[in-house]
Amino acid sequence: MIAQGTALAQQQVPPSGQDIEGHAAVEKVIGNTMTGTADGVPYFAYYETTGTVKMQRGGEVASGQWSRDGESLCEEFPDDDDETCYTIRLDAGGMKGTMTDADGTAYAIEILPGNPQKL
């Protein structure tokens, strides 16, 4: 068995079988693509390390900004009135989970490595 202390620097490894949440879950999203459905339409959102988020929904691509607010991931797009923040919870593998908005609405998500949609 590999000791948890051998994890990469700046990457916290939860005990086996434990969900990943908060700052550690946000870190799993950055540099990768989140996918799911919104209003029945599939989307892909690539979170660049520079703070830009590019979202493809249907045939359109929108570019906005992401930031951290404590343990939450926040997004703001030019067509939105306000910034929207979500708490992220991922399974122990760090690839599937939920993002929950301030109203408590949870959305199923999956994390895809890198930028497979080339956004």
For the chain, which domains are there? 18-112 (2.40.128.640)
Angle at 82 between CA 54 and CA 118, to 5 degrees: 5
Q: What integer pLDDT is reported at residue 1 of this predicted model?
A: 35
For residue 116, what are its two tokens?
A: 């497979």
- pTM, whole model, 2 decimals? 0.83
Q: What integer pLDDT is reported at residue 80 of this predicted model?
A: 84
Q: What integer pLDDT is reported at residue 81 of this predicted model?
A: 83
For residue 22, what are its two tokens?
A: 């908060």
φ and ψ at 89, to 5 degrees? -135, 125
